[in-house]
Structure 1
Amino acid sequence: MQIETPSKPGIWRESATLFALGWGLVRSGGTRLLGLILVSQLVILGIALPVIGWLFREALRASGMTGLDLGALAPGRGLPLTIGLIAVIIALAFWLISLQFTALVVLLQWPGIGWRGFAAELGRVARKLLRPSSLPLLCYLFLLLPLTGFGFTSTFTRGIAIPSFVSGELLKSASSAVALGAFLLVLAVLNVRLSLTVPVFVLTDGGRASRCSWRLTRGVRSWLPLVLAVAAVMLLAGLAALALTVAAVVPTALTDELAPGASPFVAAYSLGAAQVIGFLLSGLATAFVASILIMSVRRRADRLAPGVTLVDRTRPAPSPEGRPARRSRRPALLAGAIALVTALGLGTVAVDTMQRLSDAPETLVLAHRGFSDGGVENTLGGLDAAHAAGADLVEMDVMQTADGEFVAMHDATLGRLAGRPDAVKDLTLAELTAITVHDQHGHEDLIPSFADYVTRAQQLGMPLLIEIKLGGADTPDHVERLVAELEALDALESNIYHSLDAPSVARLKQLRPDLTVGYTMAFAAVAAPDTPADFIVPEEWSATEQLQRSAAESGLGFMVWTLNDEAGMREQLRRSADGIITDHPDRVLALRAEMQQETGLADVLVDAVTRFVKVV
């Protein structure tokens, strides 16, 4: 019988082979693999991340900040120390990520390796990380991989992404949306071509891991089976996560009906168990992907760069009877005990969390620049649409013109909304209010003066969150002029305010301490900033629960912008953020009404499990 040459198998057959061989490696890892996954996750969450967080806080204190506030970062005596500590943090995170992946690859590649051999392999790779040749790996792990997510994943890099306020703005025009799509496509191609970088780095003694990965994925027949096999793993992981969510919620749904008083405790311990199982599922998915990448390297080892060879390790000898030696049950029992204790601990902590999350949200819903489903942003049509949708407030932007007047406008130029190269700072109020703007939904309207916008809001009874924007024509007394115009309209005290410009926030509070003023932050972390504002407005990407707690402890309100995905909306509503600024106020209003009518904890637990259990 003629045997098909394995050098050029079909794409589907090769992907199935990679999937099967990868699963074989995962199975061979057994309880040692599960234990490694669980222990590594606990070490990262319980030790590594707190230490990195402490270092980051110390780095910020060196520049006189309590939390990350790019608006307050200025050259000074503490800045070199801050930069140095941040460099240490990046190096530490890189080292930990690399060793985490190394441990996983070593255990999968040589499942029978003893603990001494395991430690020796970790030491070998740790020494390689000190070489200058490991720099490309740093860029790959911290930039390319997190942005596209194809390959190894880690808790350290899970939050790295293109901020939604950047991608959201780019998607508001056809040309920038195409450019963003092309950019992401290029990143995806690069990531696939470099996806074998980590296993090559770990499994070889030589360098040039990125170059080897590029060689091994040359041609569609090389990279497409890899993509299909990994996609199959991700599909299975998603189905497993769905099954976990259902299994976690069923007990709480039953107690909601039969014993409501027990629901907080059942929900909390169900969440604790789901988190532990979620850790394992996430780790297994990562291990499965790693196994596929390992097998892809092994099957194409003859195509590695000259001088680069796979490290050879002798497998454990079989037992005298010719059968594998029986493995001890102690690792399985130990892993089970760790998992049980962790689940009980997380469940105990979650009791208070579940009771708090069950409170009906009173979060304000703010329409971002009006409601784009009914009109162009920052126009009277968009304002009317937001009012019709039932928004609690409308967030809008005000900018100064060439003649010192004020216009409702967000962009400093008219390219996106009017297709003109003109800048707002170069045009007078009369010139601007004669210009027609349009959006991607087909709406058209005239640019309104700030006075006309505020007057229309008064007629509708719609309070505004007015953002003070700097467009380049700002006079030194622009805050004073804005206050005077609002006073002339009898609208100063009926609205609230915010700005990305810290001096404008400080000046407004100095002029009128009685006004409610917010400090908007594109990037924030760790703790609330030292600000005279009454509330902070972090962007969704950095609006963490930790930052929200810090704001509350500092007596500051907490609003989030610009929140447009349902998962984020549900999370901030459950956390009772003071306000959500969104392009889709109708969706947030519907979710808020739904949560206010809930009677049990099952729906709350669904959101909590969806949030905490990440299988990526």
Structure 2
Amino acid sequence: MVKSRPGQTGVWRETGLLLAEGTRLVRAGGARLAALILACQLVILGIALPVIGWLYREALRAAGMHGLDMGQLRIGQGFTLTAALIVLIIAIAFWLISMQFALLVLLLRRPGLGWRDLGRELGRVARRLLRPGSGALLLYLFLLLPLTGFGFTSVLTRGIAIPSFISGELAKSVQTGIGFSLFLLLLVALNVRLALTVPVFVLTTGGRAARSSWRLTRGLRGWAPIALSVGTVLGVFATLGTLLAVIAILPTALSDAVAPGASPVVAAYSLGAAQLAGLMLSGLATAAVAAVLITAVLRGAERLPAGVELAPSPARGEGPRPPRRLAGIVTAAAVVAVLGFGTAGVGTMQRLSEYPETLVLAHRGFSDGGVENTIGGLEAAHEAGADLVEMDVMQTRDGEFVAMHDATLGRLAGRADAVKDLTLDELTSITVRDLHGHEDLIPSLADYVSRAQELGMPLLIEIKLGGGETPDHVERLVAELERLDALESNIYHSLDAPSVERLKLLRPDLTVGYTMAFAAVDAPDTPADFIVVEEWSATEHLQGAALAAGLGFMTWTVDDESGMREHLRRGTDGIITDHPDTVLSLRDEMQDETGLAAALFDIVERFVTVG
């Protein structure tokens, strides 16, 4: 072990030392480390996640729900039991993640540690987790760490992220965009400064892990080598992930050329192998990051706060070498996992052999050609070839309707006025502008719908609430669209469940969707014909639940190409996007494909993503 203090070396030399020593620790872990990674990943996927999912469903049932719908969440009978079960779920997940990371740190720190001594060390860590001071570790593991992806990663926290509909909306204004960017920079800076929290917690006595990490990363020579080293590790493993994805499609590419009929089966087992390899790659990336962070703690041990010291090594010292049969056990477990993953994936690959028929909906029109919810944006979406245009309708002070998303005019017109406080004539004389340099007038619903009819462009009309709706706003909207002879030629949706229910009650023949900012577990109990789920929670499981309930499934707002590809491959009924031209290009590309190699690559890339 290199014992010179970080302050005695330059940033680049310190970075090299951290990477070199971290690499040595990972190599020293050998078969036991590989077995640990595989066992942890399979236990979490095969046991922990199903148990947590079952507890979560029971928690919802206790409150009279079969799925989570944040738009209709009510506190009532059974809420106490629901809250208790959710606390239990958080406690289980926290304990599992903490013990997973602790086991990894201990095995990297002392690769020859005997099983009994390893158990004792884990017991010491488990007892510390019961102390009130470990609450800070919970916040770090479940909030700061997943949001930035810098440091340890776990399957249990992979879904934690800032929803794209929040980040996307914030980016549409200069002020909020700058504020959000500064917020992200702050998160990254905090994460770098607290990156040593887990290894300090596991390897030391006396508590105060977060404070110790903050102290050890003080100054440029404290945090910069850690940031550079972890960034290098994640970059290397991301490259390996891409290489793995390329290798995984080779058998399917060969099958496509020689025996196309066998491609679904070949692709399924190739996918199974890639899934296992992706789990191992992700685990090794976490181990490599952990090794770098352990090295940083050991090199800075002299600067730990008073009362915080490295835990003494067990008296028994180095344990016996791992038995040779361990390699065989690991290999057998890997083969079983590949066969299981592959068999489960045959149906998926057969479905992917079909061409995607997903509808492409331009979100509020097409912002590349006009301001959102304006005639210019509508015409740009038509020019781009969108299947439908999603637009918003809001009621004015005099009970009329305009095309508008925001309840106030600050973002688009630089005014503090609220839509509900202005009349139709006042609103339609106001000019709105966007960050692309476009400008236009706020259109009335009548003008917007009339232009859509001229273009032959069907609309997905969202009923937005601005706070000043009349009790009969749904009835008035129906009457206005009937007057325009546009009611039956368009479809509808809303975040407001009562508006959805009222519209279906008035006109059961209309196609109406229920929009959900967050959903989980199961499809909602709704009279709607389809659901529109925000991309963050638009999981394949929820999509299957919607299908089983006889509901269509759309997702919003999908603006990154990987998400577009995923939903096209999944056969999502509709993708609402700010970039309809990109989705249309991808859909055309997929419809022209022959064979399954390209489809397999898109799926494999998701499984082998590192960081």
Assess same fold via TM > 0.5.
Answer: yes
The aligned length equals 609
Displacement of 1:75 in angstroms is 2.1
After TM superposition, the structure 1 = structure 2 runs for residues 269-288 of structure 1, keeping only pairs within 5 Å, are 269-288=269-288
Aligned alpha-carbon RMSD (Å): 1.4
Assess if the C-alpha contact under 8 Å between 2:125 and 2:202 holds in 1.
yes
Task: Assess, with a 3 A threshold, how the Cα gap between structure 1 residues 596 and 274 changes in structure 2: closer, same or farther.
Answer: same
1:521 matches 2:524: no
Structure-2 change in CA distance of 1:210 and 1:325 (3 Å): closer
CA contact (8 A) 2:394 2:401 kept: yes
Q: Is the 8 A contact 2:359 2:575 kept in 1?
A: yes
The 1:116/1:367 distance shift into structure 2, 3 A limit, reads: same
Change (3 A) 1:484 1:247: same
- In structure 1, what is the Cα distance between the partners aligned to 2:85 and 2:427? 48
Give SS of 1:538's match. Answer: strand
3-state SS of paired residue (2:531)? strand
Q: 1:358 touches 1:574 (CA, 8 Å); kept in 2?
A: no
Distance 1:257 1:109 in 2: 49
Tell me how far 1:65 sits from its aligned partner: 1.3
Q: Could you tell me how far 1:81 is from its partner in structure 2?
A: 1.9
- 200-209 vs 557-566, which moves further: 200-209
Q: Do the aligned partners of residues 23 and 600 (structure 1) sit closer, same or farther apart at CA in structure 2, a change above 3 Å counting? A: same
Deviations 1:546-583 (A, max 9, x none): 00000000000000000000000000000100000000
Amino acid at match of 2:153: T
Q: Is the 8 A contact 1:113 1:315 kept in 2?
A: no
* Equivalent in the alignment of 2:122: 122
**Whole-angstrom CA distance in 2 between matches of 1:345 and 1:73:** 37
Specify the alignment match of 1:321 in structure 2.
Answer: none
Would the aligned equivalents of 2:409 and 2:419 in 1 still touch at CA under 8 Å? yes
Residues 1:610 and 2:611 aligned together: no
The question of whether the paired residues in 1 share the 8 Å contact of 2:233 and 2:288 is answered with yes
TM-fit CA distance, 1:479: 0.3
Q: 2 CA distance for matches of 1:279 and 1:154?
A: 10
- Determine if contact 2:428/2:442 at 8 Å carries over to the other structure: yes
Contact 1:365–1:588 (CA under 8 A) maintained in structure 2? yes
Identify the residue that residue 21 of structure 1 maps to in structure 2: 21
Contact 1:415–1:422 at 8 Å: present in 2 too?
yes
Cα gap change, 1:129 to 1:6, in 2 (>3 Å): closer
Q: CA deviation at 1:7?
A: 4.5
DSSP 3-state at the match of 1:88: helix
Contact preservation (8 Å) 2:279, 2:607:
no
Query: Offset at 1:357?
Result: 1.4
Please tell me whether residue 143 in structure 1 is matched to residue 143 in structure 2.
yes
C-alpha distance in 2, partners of 1:212/1:6? 15
Change in Cα spacing, 1:5 to 1:30, as seen in structure 2 (3 Å) is closer
CA drift of 1:317 comes to 6.1
Query: In the alignment, what sits opposite 1:187?
Result: 187
Taking the TM superposition and a 5 Å limit, the aligned residue runs for 1:117-266 are 117-266=117-266
Pair 126,446 (structure 1): closer, same or farther in 2 beyond 3 Å? same
Whether 2:385 is the aligned partner of 1:396: answer: no
User: Within the alignment, does 1:351 sit opposite 2:346 as a pair?
Assistant: yes
The whole-number CA distance in structure 1 between the counterparts of 2:288 and 2:304 is 23
Deviations 1:493-516 (A, max 9, x none): 000000000000000000000100
Describe the superposition over 1:348-368 as per-residue Cα deviations: whole angstroms up to 9, x where unpaired. 111111111121010000000
Aligned partners of 1:402, 1:463: CA distance in 2, in Å? 27
Q: If the length of structure 1 is used for normalisation, what is the TM-score? A: 0.97
Secondary structure in 1 matching 2:244: helix
Contact preservation (8 Å) 2:194, 2:214: yes
Who is 2:299 aligned against?
299
Residues 456-475 of structure 1: pairs in structure 2 closer than 5 A: 456-475=451-470
* 2:31–2:322 Cα contact (<8 Å) kept: no
Identity of aligned residues (%): 70
Q: Deviations over 1:58-88 (max 9, x none)?
A: 1111221111101111121122222221111
> What does residue 384 of structure 1 align with?
379
Q: SS of the residue aligned with 2:156? A: coil
Contact 1:173 1:440 in 2 (8 A): yes
Q: CA deviation at 1:250?
A: 1.0
Provide the C-alpha distance between the structure 1 equivalents of 2:140 and 2:78, rounded to a whole number of angstroms.
30
1:112 maps to what in 2? 112
The reply to whether residue 571 of structure 1 matches residue 605 of structure 2 is no
Q: Distance in 2 between matches of 1:379 and 1:274?
A: 46
Would the alpha carbon gap of residues 325 and 135 (structure 1) be closer, same or farther in structure 2, given more than 3 Å must change?
A: closer
CA distance in 2, matches of 1:271, 1:613: 11
CA–CA distance in structure 1, aligned partners of residues 229 and 317 of structure 2: 32
Matched, 1:560 2:555: yes
For residue 47 of structure 2, what is the aligned residue in structure 1? Answer: 47
Matched, 1:342 2:325: no
Alpha-carbon shift at residue 315 of structure 1 (Å): 8.1
1:97 maps to 97
- CA-to-aligned-CA distance 1:412-461 (integer Å, 9 cap, x gap): 00000001111101111100000000000000000000111011111111
For residue 32 of structure 2, what is the amino acid of its counterpart? Answer: R
Q: 1:108 to 1:5 in 2, by over 3 A?
A: closer
- Structure 1 residues 439 and 119, CA gap change in structure 2 (3 angstroms): same
Question: 204-213 vs 6-15, which deviates more?
Answer: 6-15
Q: Tell me the SS of whatever aligns to 2:160.
A: coil
The residue number in structure 2 matching 1:539 is: 534
What whole-Å deviation, never above 9, does each CA across 1:400-422 have from its counterpart, x for those lacking one? Answer: 01111101000000000001111
Q: Is 1:466–1:495's contact at 8 Å kept on the other side of the alignment?
A: yes
Closer/same/farther in 2, CA of residues 255 and 437 from structure 1, 3 Å limit: same
1:548 and 1:601 map into 2 onto residues whose CA distance is: 22
In 1, the alpha carbon distance for the partners of 2:421 and 2:83 equals: 38
Structure 2 unaligned spans of 5+ = none
Q: Which amino acid aligns with 1:294?
A: I
**Conserved 8 A contact 1:110-1:315:** no
Per the TM alignment, residue 5 of structure 1 is displaced from its structure 2 partner at its CA by: 8.0
Aligned partners of 1:408 and 1:449 also within 8 Å? yes
Indicate conservation of the 8 Å contact 1:407/1:450, yes or no: yes
Distance in 1 (CA, whole Å) between partners of 2:13 and 2:580 is 48
User: Could you say what secondary structure the match of 1:288 adopts?
Assistant: helix
- The separation in 2 between residues aligned to 1:374 and 1:193, in whole angstroms, is 43
For the Cα contact (< 8 Å) 1:524–1:538, is it kept in 2? yes
C-alpha distance after superposition, 1:280-306 (max 9, x if no partner): 111000000000000100000011110
Instruction: Note the alpha carbon deviations across 1:169-219, whole angstroms, 9 max, x for none.
Output: 000111111000000011111110001001111111211100000000000
SS at match of 1:156: helix
Call closer, same or farther: CA 1:387–1:307 in 2, change over 3 Å: same
Q: 1:170 to 1:7 in 2, by over 3 A?
A: closer
Partner of 1:519, secondary structure, is: strand
How far apart are the structure 2 equivalents of 1:232 and 1:358?
A: 38
Distance 2:45 2:4 in 1: 48
Letter in 2 for 1:271: L
